[in-house]
Amino acid sequence: MKTKTETPAVELKSNHMRTIKIIGVGGAGVSLLDTLDGVEFAGAGMVAINTDGTSLAASAAMVKIHLETKLLRGLGTGGDAERGQAIAEEQFSTLKTACGGADVVLIISGLGGGAGSGISPVLARAAKETGALVLAFVTLPFLCEGNRRQQQARQSLEQLKSVADGVICLPSQKAFKLIDENTSVLDTFRITGGLLVEGVRGVWQLLTRPGLIQIHFDDLCALVRNRHSESSFAFVEASGAGRSREVVEKLLIHPLLDEGRALADSDAVLVSLMGGKDLTMAEVNRVMEQIGRHCEHVQIIMGAAVDMRMRDRLSVTVIAAKHNAAAESSAASTPATTSGDQGGQMISRGATARSGARCGTSAPAFNLEQREQLLAKNANRPRKAASKMRQEQLPLAIISKGRFDKSEPTVHKGEDLDIPTFVRRGVALN
């Protein structure tokens, strides 16, 4: 019901008229935006947002927004998400105008850094306030990139989930399964980026190509809107005689779908098939039957479309939305973020976020005064300082692992089992 009141105009427009904006945020987002093929994505409004001027200068996007204040001294966010968030809050109106007039806003961003993690949630909120459907495509950093980036990325993901309609999240670590030993760093990043771009392309095709069996815009909205869920997606392609079988096999071993498990775990699945004009009904049927068997009690929305350029290829995009009960309940208790009394709303938002202990908190909004305080505080802080003060503890006794000192540690659920059990459990022997 919320949907209807928010975007009455959208329901009336035809499928082709929808304005879609693709917004790249942060260094990763901007460079991924550039990899999107201009011809294929003709008609989309490309917007690049970053705090770093050089990355923007290199971008080919039509609209570039440079978030800058003198407090940053032209140095970007320095990998600090709080700083990114503060500056995004400051320029909230700019972000809102950037999203204006779009029915669907696709946010592309690499979480973990300062700009991506900080700005994306705020941008999602801004886009939501303009009444658009917000889908975020984000990558999580590799584990080797360090704790802090992981933490920032997780936090930002939670915030995104609570504001955006749908978050499609690609943990880069999963892409490790796709690469082998010899893949260079450059290729690895291209592959992870490529996966994300495939997802964007899948949704794009879904929204713009004429369908034989159409997926209505409403269907997509119904699937993702206000679900605040984390979805898995996969885009696979095959050609030749056995292509329908091949795509299903590829789907079921797709690392991003956890080898098909994500399908069974999800509570709604959207399947979009796209083929050349030789696409047969039997093929569509075969693919759907196989997918249906893997997710029996799941709502499936399917669409099929023909693209002359596809020749004998068949591509399938699957978005599996997982139910997020915690976030849903928090969404229900949070008033809809359309417009109006900003201040009051933010207070209630903050309150729900605080009370709902585990569920994701939305990007906190600051008033002007707070915002300036935070920015000033951040700018005055030494650049290298850790984001949180941590009380260091010196180990009271050095625990020797005895004969296992030099062997590979046996770690089970984060515990080093080589350390004597009684020491880890703190059993006193007197």
Partner 1 sequence: MFDESNIIVGLEIGTSKVCAVVGEQGDDGSLNIVGLGQSRSRGVRKGEIADAAMVEEDVRNAIVEAEQMADVEIRSVYLGVTGGHIRGFNNRGVHPVVSADREISKEDVQDVVKNAKAINLPAENTIIHAVRQHFLVDGHGGVTDPVGMLGARIEVDMHVVHGNTNRLQNAIRLVKGLQLKVEEIVSSGLASSLALLTSEQKELGALVIDIGAGTTDYVVYADGVIKHTGVLAVGGDHVSNDLGHGLKVPLSRAEKLKLEHGSALVDETMIGRTLTITNELGLPLKTINVEHLQRIMSLRLEEIFQIIASDLEQAGLTDYLRAGVFLCGGGARVPQMAPLAERILQLPVSIGQTNSISGLKSALDQPEFVTAIGLAKFGSVKSRRTDGKTSIAQGIKSTITSFLRR
Which among 39-47, 120-128, 353-361, 420-428 is the span making contact with partner 1, rule CB under 8 A? 420-428
Distance separating alpha carbons of residues 51 and 282, to the nearest angstrom: 51
Single out the residue of 180, 207, 178 nearest to residue 192, CA to CA: 178
Closest approach of partner 1 to the CB of residue 429, in Å: 5
Closest approach of partner 1 to the CB of residue 395, in Å: 15
**Residues 240, 343, 395, 402: which binds partner 1 (CB under 8 A)?**
402
Which among 39-47, 244-252, 299-307, 347-355 is the span making contact with partner 1, rule CB under 8 A? 244-252
Task: Name which of 293 and 323 has its Cβ closer to partner 1.
Answer: 293
Closest approach of partner 1 to the CB of residue 78, in Å: 35
Closest approach of partner 1 to the CB of residue 403, in Å: 6
Which among 70-78, 158-166, 231-239, 401-409 is the span making contact with partner 1, rule CB under 8 A? 401-409
**Residues 2, 293, 377, 383: which binds partner 1 (CB under 8 A)?**
293
Residue in this structure with the two tokens 């180990």, named with its chain if needed: 395
Closest approach of partner 1 to the CB of residue 416, in Å: 11
The site for partner 1, by CB under 8 A, has a size of 29
Is 402 exposed, middle or buried, given 0-12, 13-18 or 19+ CB atoms closer than 10 A?
A: exposed
Q: Which ranges in 298-397 belong to alpha helices (H)?
A: 325-333, 342-355, 368-380
**Residues 37, 181, 369, 392: which binds partner 1 (CB under 8 A)?**
181
Closest approach of partner 1 to the CB of residue 180, in Å: 5
Task: Find the radius of gyration of the CA atoms of the chain.
Answer: 23
Give the type of residue at 123. L
Q: Which two tokens stand for residue 55?
A: 């990355």
**Contact partners, residue 328, CB within 8 Å, separation at least 6:** 226, 227, 228
Task: Name which of 329 and 400 has its Cβ closer to partner 1.
Answer: 400
Q: Assess contact for 142 and 112: CB atoms under 8 A.
A: no
Q: How many other CB atoms sit within 10 Å of the CB of residue 2?
A: 11
**Contact partners, residue 180, CB within 8 Å, separation at least 6:** none
Q: Which of residues 261-280 bind partner 1 (CB under 8 A)?
A: none
Which among 22-30, 93-101, 304-312, 422-430 is the span making contact with partner 1, rule CB under 8 A? 422-430
Q: Assess contact for 173 and 202: CB atoms under 8 A.
A: no
Q: Is 70 in the site for partner 1 (CB under 8 A)?
A: no
Which among 45-53, 96-104, 346-354, 397-405 is the span making contact with partner 1, rule CB under 8 A? 397-405
Residue 137 DSSP SS3? strand
Closest approach of partner 1 to the CB of residue 213, in Å: 23
Distance separating alpha carbons of residues 151 and 157, to the nearest angstrom: 10
Q: Is 404 in the site for partner 1 (CB under 8 A)?
A: yes
Single out the residue of 323, 174, 159, 147 nearest to residue 234, CA to CA: 174
Longest Cα separation, the chain: 81
Q: Which ranges in 243-336 belong to alpha helices (H)?
A: 243-252, 261-265, 281-294, 325-333
Q: Is 298 in the site for partner 1 (CB under 8 A)?
A: no
Q: Is the dihedral of CA 15, 102, 32, 225 positive or negative?
A: negative
Closest approach of partner 1 to the CB of residue 399, in Å: 8
**Local structure of residue 13 (DSSP, 8 states):** S
N- to C-terminal Cα separation, the chain: 66
Q: Is 423 in the site for partner 1 (CB under 8 A)?
A: yes
Give the type of residue at 107. I
Closest approach of partner 1 to the CB of residue 418, in Å: 7
**Residues 57, 253, 351, 376: which binds partner 1 (CB under 8 A)?**
253
Which among 40-48, 95-103, 245-253, 277-285 is the span making contact with partner 1, rule CB under 8 A? 245-253
Q: Is 395 in the site for partner 1 (CB under 8 A)?
A: no
Task: Name which of 335 and 422 has its Cβ closer to partner 1.
Answer: 422
Which among 5-13, 18-26, 165-173, 248-256 is the span making contact with partner 1, rule CB under 8 A? 248-256
Q: Is 185 in the site for partner 1 (CB under 8 A)?
A: no
Q: Which residues bind partner 1 (CB under 8 A)?
A: 177, 180-181, 245, 249, 252-253, 255, 259, 293, 399-404, 407-408, 410, 412, 417-418, 420-423, 425, 427, 429
